[in-house]
Amino acid sequence: MKTVNAYLIILASLLIITSCKEGNVKMNTIINEDGTCRREVAHSTTMARERTSPDQDSLWVNGEARFAKLATDLLCVDSMVSKEPTFDGDTVTASYYRDFDSVEEMSLNTPLRLNGTPLKSSAKLEKHFRWFYTEYVYTETFASLGSTFPVSPEKYADADTVRFWFTGEPNLIAGLSGAEASNKLEGIEQKMSQWFNDALLTIIFNYIESRYDSISNAPVNKEVFVSMKDSVIQHSNLPVSDAKLAEAFRATYHSDAYDVFFNESTPLGAELSSIVNDKLYTFIFGVTYTLQLPGSEVQTFPLTGERLIPGDYTITATSQVTNIWAWIVSALIILAAIALRLWLPRRKTTGF
């Protein structure tokens, strides 16, 4: 279990670790003019020449054996159609798709999941007839993951600041100079780092509290233990590792009774580490989401775990499809009007 005092440092570290572990995941949504749609997902990962894990698949590439984990915990593809894997150098890509009669049906079967739980989404497609063109408006809303953490970010910053930090909206640095923007961002980062560490310490304390009866020679009772959380934070100067956390607990409670929770070789330490890592995974969950509406080019949207922390995350896109028949009908009407205007004066002079 690793916790840090710098919000950005842990995200950078986790991104490096996860990019190697999970590979690259993409999701593509195709909307047709009649409202039917297709959801496609793909997972790319690097192949190895030797098997390093029992869950790796065996592949035969250019006459040589390669090994890679084609499945990923980020995807739930049991109900999807599998395509043949594709290869590009040392990279293999596993692809899947499924067709749906409506976007509502599609959103009930979102193939993305986080820590084994499918993400929830709701989608809506609107068509607006404008004579010369038809406008399509697609909206998909992914449910918030804010309840993942026992402490709300709004304990340390107002709602707009929290949304800006995690989603970029509203833009709180618009119109500021570089120096002004830097100062504002630094202040926001400090607040979010405080929230981040408070949330992690609360997770740790909640777990230890739930297992308190298993502690040998606990120096204080459960209620006193919980009440001293702020003292642990002060002694640790914001936790940065298992060792420093154990040291902070010893300094606060004058006992090594809690060391077992910060040793991953013990059952309690391993379970707590798994819980913390699951929570942290929210920060490095990321999928490249592309969307293709009728009459438009592919649009790309960022779909990350962070964007789901402050609230529901909504993706909205519009497109227009030209109604060629409307132009033809309009042209015929105009030509008929011109012909009629030319014919009426001639009829008056000639009688036919």
Domain boundaries, the chain: 7-325
**Which token pair is 306?**
């962070």
Kindly list the distances between the CA atom of residue 288 and the CA atoms of 121, 123, 193, 344, in Å, as whole numbers in the listed order.
16, 18, 26, 63
Q: Is the pLDDT of residue 122 over 90?
A: yes
Helices marked H in the chain — which ranges? 7-22, 103-107, 159-167, 178-210, 222-227, 229-236, 242-253, 267-284, 324-350
Q: What is the pLDDT of residue 237?
A: 57
How would residue 224 be classed by pLDDT, with cut points 50, 70 and 90? very high
pTM comes to 0.81
**Which residue did the predictor score with more confidence, 307 or 326?**
307
The whole-number pLDDT of residue 105 equals 96
151-157: average pLDDT: 92
Q: What is the pLDDT of residue 325?
A: 83
Q: Which residues pair with 66 in a beta bridge?
A: 59
Say if CB 287 and CB 25 are below 8 A apart.
yes
- pLDDT tens for each residue of 230-252: 787 766 555 456 677 888 888 88
pLDDT at 292: 96
Share of the chain above pLDDT 70, in %: 86
- Cα distance between residue 63 and residue 229, in whole Å: 59
- In whole angstroms, what is the distance from residue 339 CA to residue 200 CA? 79
User: What pLDDT score was predicted for residue 20?
Assistant: 44
Q: Are 172 and 211 in contact (CB under 8 A)?
A: no
Residue 241, pLDDT score: 62
Mean local confidence (pLDDT), 324-338: 85
> Residue 338: pLDDT band by 50, 70, 90 thresholds?
confident
- What tokens appear for 122 in the block? 């709701």
| pLDDT classification of 349: cutoffs 50, 70, 90 | low
CA 169 to chain centre: 16
Contact 154, 162 (CB under 8 A): yes
CA angle (146, 149, 152) in 5-degree steps: 70
> What is the separation of C-alpha 156 from the centre of its chain, rounded to a whole number of angstroms?
23
The token pair at 87 is 């290869």
- Cβ atoms 139, 123 nearer than 8 A: yes
Contacts of 9 (CB under 8 A, 6+ apart): none
Average pLDDT over the chain reads 84
Contact, 71 vs 46, CB < 8 A? no
Is the pLDDT at 316 greater than 60? The verdict is yes
pLDDT digits (tens, 9 = 90+) for 40-86: 999 888 877 777 777 777 776 776 777 677 777 788 888 899 898 88
- Per-residue pLDDT of 272-282, as tens digits, reads 988 988 888 88
Under the banding of pLDDT at 50, 70 and 90, the label for residue 6 is very low
- DSSP state letters, 255-280: -STTGGGG-TTSHHHHHHHHHHHHHH
How much is the pLDDT for 18? Answer: 46
Tokens 């154990």 correspond to what residue? 246
Please name the residues in contact with 31: beta carbons below 8 A apart, sequence gap of 6 or more: 37, 103, 125, 136, 138, 291, 292, 293, 294
46: its two tokens = 């690097």
- 186 phi, psi to nearest 5 deg: -65, -40
Q: What is the pLDDT of residue 196?
A: 86
